[in-house]
Amino acid sequence: MKRNYVIAFIIAIIALPSGFLATAHAQSQPTVSLSPSTFAATSVGQTFEVNLTISNVQSLWGWSVNITWDPTYLSLNSVSEGDFLTSQVGQTFFLNTPTNSTKGWCNINDASASLSSVASGSGTLAILKFATVQRCSQTTISSNVVLYGVLPASATVGTPQPEISPVSPTSQTTITTHTGAPPTANAGPNQTVPKGYTVIFNASQSVCEGNNPTYTWAFTDVTPQTLTGMITNYTFDNPAIYNVELTVQDSIGVGTSNVTITVTNETLTPLSIIISGVKSGSSISAGEEITFEVENSTLRNVPIENCQWDMGDKSSPQVTSTPVEKYGYSNDGTFNVRVTVHYTDGINQIGSTTVTIGQTSGPAPTPSNANSNTPSAPSSTPQATATPTFQATATNDQSLALPTAVLAILIGTTVFILFGSIFWLRKNSNMRQ
């Protein structure tokens, strides 16, 4: 019987650290959100409140948040402090920077007036009052927050406040404005594109409150052309200026909108991605930094606004100001790298390549200059795609490895308890004899 108690005690001791750490980790992750998550307005000019709330936070000293919205559909009328900090710490420093109504942006900051006073639990951080500007099928209010904890007593002058990591720093509220009126058609922005590329027509920003809406696009390219569907496409082979009319009809009525498509004589060279610093047949370890670069000869003579990189491993897109990205993969596998180059004139180009981590590569293939005009997703700009490939090798993957110190402590504790239990059992056995 005693031996069974000892074994159960040993199992409980071994399991305790991991359970305790998991609980502590869960408690250290507060949640920040905008509330309500959805709001349906019934008239233009209607006002409503959105609260920035926090839950399950420990020892919060201050916070900062960027609020963004589309000023075409919404306006921010006022910002006021919530009662979460003031109810627990008393005096605070609350600062709302002037609202940028043109871009739809503001920054809000709040902090305890005392370096040692903090708040814990759940409550409202700020209250934002918005008004609808015009009808919309859907628009969003977004927040990106940073939380700050209290400084330790040993901190020196100038030490920044430690940050507290929420479950997610971003949140959104979705707004719709319906009034029972006929459709408001929206054909999207004007576009300037090179000849031979596919233009995407997108009417998803149109507002239809009736049933069974239909979308018709009409223009003349040598002969009259008619396209149907909320999202459709057309390849313009003849340089010219085209006036395209969108007609949206539902059970309430009809709405129209026009968009201008300017087709130039320019011919784009497909993008080619080069992987530099790696030799053919060499090995790349997981975590090792790889340099991806768009070949200069494939870039247009137009300033680049930014480059968006999809690394193919389900990580967040990487945005760079130049056509170069340095990245290290944490796991083995074959990844499709895709870059979208956004130019200041509104034209996008797309290129892609593949890289394999965890396998010795053969000779690097020659990049393909094949161009595809078939759109892979709705877009307001033309696309050019090239797909060279590359393979490399990773020597190991330590993404699931336990920290050495933690493993040593667990092993040492287990061995100590086992030997102590055996000694105790033998001593009691000798005493009974």
DSSP 326-348: EE--SS-EEEEEEEEEEETTS-E
Q: How far apart are CA 173 and CA 50, in angstroms?
A: 8
**Lowest mean pLDDT segment, chosen from 116-120, 162-166, 178-182, 272-276:** 272-276
**What global pTM score does this model have?**
0.58
Q: Which spans in 219-375 are helix H?
A: none
Cα–Cα distance between 18 and 286 in angstroms, integer?
27
* 17-26, 96-105, 125-134, 419-428 — most confident range: 125-134
| Residue 360 phi, psi dihedral angles, 5° rounding | -65, 135
Phi and psi angles of residue 415, each rounded to the nearest 5 degrees, phi first: -60, -45
**Measured between alpha carbons, how far is 274 from 352 in angstroms, rounded to an integer?**
10
Handedness of CA 136, 138, 144, 147 (dihedral sign): positive
List, in order, residues 6 or more apart from 56 with CB less than 8 Å away. 27, 29, 30, 31, 121, 122
CA distance 33 to 124: 10
Instruction: Collapse the DSSP code of 2 into the 3-class scheme (helix H, G, I; strand E, B; otherwise coil) and give the result.
Output: helix
pLDDT of residue 357: 86
Expressed in angstroms, the distance from the first to the final Cα of the chain is 18
Dist. CA 207–CA 173, nearest whole Å: 19
More confident residue, 225 or 7: 225
Is the predicted pLDDT of residue 375 greater than 60, yes or no? no
Q: What is the pLDDT of residue 166?
A: 93
Q: Which of 248, 264, 259, 325 is nearest to 292 (CA)?
A: 325
Pairing mode of beta strands 105-112, 240-249: unpaired
> For residue 314, what are its two tokens?
């389900």
Do residues 273 and 365 touch, judged by C-beta distance below 8 A? no
- 3-state class (DSSP) for residue 368: coil
Domains, in order of start, for the chain: 32-151+161-177 (2.60.40.680), 191-264 (2.60.40.10), 268-397 (2.60.40.10)
Q: Average pLDDT of the chain?
A: 81
Q: Which two tokens stand for residue 37?
A: 């998550």
* Residue range 70-122, pLDDT digits in tens: 999 999 999 999 999 999 999 999 998 888 989 999 999 999 999 889 999 99
Q: What is the pLDDT of residues 28-52, one digit of tens each?
A: 689 999 999 999 999 999 999 999 9
Q: Three-class SS of residue 248?
A: strand
Higher pLDDT residue, 405 or 59?
59
Question: According to the model, what pLDDT value does residue 158 have?
Answer: 75
Distance CA 29, CA 58 (A): 9
Among the listed residues 328, 324, 325, 316, the one whose alpha carbon sits nearest the alpha carbon of residue 287: 328
Length of the chain in terms of residues written: 433
> What pLDDT, in 10s, does the model give residues 272-284?
898 876 666 667 7
**Residue 305, token pair as written in the block:** 């606004």
Nearest-angstrom CA–CA distance, 369 and 272: 7
How far apart CA 397 and CA 312 sit, in angstroms, is 18
280: nearest Cα among 356, 386, 387, 385 = 356
Query: How high is the pLDDT of residue 86?
Result: 94
Task: Identify the pLDDT of residue 281.
Answer: 61
85 within 8 A of 112, measured Cβ to Cβ: yes
Q: How far apart are CA 70 and CA 302, in angstroms?
A: 28
The strand pairing partners of 207, in sequence order, are 184
In whole angstroms, give the CA distance from residue 378 to residue 205: 13
How far apart (Å, rounded) are the C-alpha atoms in residues 189 and 201? 10
Instruction: Give the integer Cα–Cα distance in Å for 33 and 53.
Output: 5
Q: Return d(Cα 350, Cα 317) in angstroms, integer.
A: 14
